[in-house]
Each structure stands twice: as C-alpha cells, then as structure tokens.
C-alpha cells in the first residue's frame, strides 16, 4: 500500500483514503493497479453501491479489476454516469450487453481495428 507523507499530501492538496472511504466521496474514480488475485474485481457490486450517484469510472489498467456485470447494472440504473475503459474482463462485453454501447467508452484493439465507442449524451 502506498501512502504519501503528510507534508506531500498538504503540498499537493491530497489526502490518502482507504478504498472503502474513497469510493464514497469521489466524483471520478480512475484505476491504476495491476491485475492480481488480490485486485480482481477491486470494484465490484458492493463498492459501486457505496459510490456517489453519477460517479464516473475510468479503468486504463487491466480487465478484471471491475466486475463487468456490476458495472453494466450500475450504468443502466444511472448509479454510474459514465465509464471509460481501455480494457474489460470480457472482450465481447459490448456485444453481450448492447445497451452499453450507448453508455460506455471503449478503446482497445479488436480484430486489428481500433474501436472507440464514445458515450452519447
């Protein structure tokens, strides 16, 4: 676990919070951790339920860090306003849940073609 010293937190106007507290107060959450057994589904149904309504969730790290199904349900319900994903656990996610193509941004290589689906307002 990384923790900045208090002087740096003050200098950068930042404060370290444990994940369970961080998800409750953040407007935008961006994930930057490796996919390990200890980080698989680090953002799952419970974490999403704790988030503020209308949160924006960004994952440019690894698929599997976010529970795809929990994210899909949160997008449909409006709990998560938008998601930007460079990777997902199930690379066919937008085909499995076509409603997500209206609500989520993907950016990754698929069959040699760059796919970019941008959230439609």
Enclosing H/E stretch for 104: strand 104-110
pTM above 0.85, yes or no: no
> d(Cα 56, Cα 69) in Å, to the nearest integer?
16
SS (HEC) of the chain:
CCCCCHHHHHHCCCCCCCHHHHHHHCCEEEECCCCCCCCCCCECHHHHHHCCCCEEEEECCCCCCECHHHHHHHHHHCCEEEEEECCCCCCCHHHHCHHHHHCEEEEEEECCEEEEECCCC
Query: What are the tens digits of pLDDT across the range 53-109?
Result: 999 999 988 889 999 889 888 988 989 998 888 777 776 665 656 656 555 555 544
> d(Cα 25, Cα 5) in Å, to the nearest integer?
21
What pairs with residue 116 in β-bridges? 107
Query: What are the tens digits of pLDDT across the range 6-19?
Result: 898 899 888 888 99
């Amino acid at each position: 676990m990384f923790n900045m010293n208090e002087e740096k937190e003050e200098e950068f106007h930042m404060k370290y919070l444990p994940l369970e507290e961080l998800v409750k107060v953040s407007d935008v959450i961006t994930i930057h951790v490796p996919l390990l057994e200890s980080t698989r589904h680090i953002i799952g149904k419970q974490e999403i339920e704790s988030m503020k309504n209308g949160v924006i969730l960004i994952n440019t790290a690894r698929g599997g860090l976010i529970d795809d199904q929990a994210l899909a349900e949160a997008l449909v319900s409006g709990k998560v306003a938008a998601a930007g994903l460079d990777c997902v656990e199930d690379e066919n996610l937008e085909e499995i849940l076509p409603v997500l193509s209206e609500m989520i941004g993907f950016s990754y290589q698929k069959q040699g073609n760059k796919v970019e689906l941008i959230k439609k307002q």
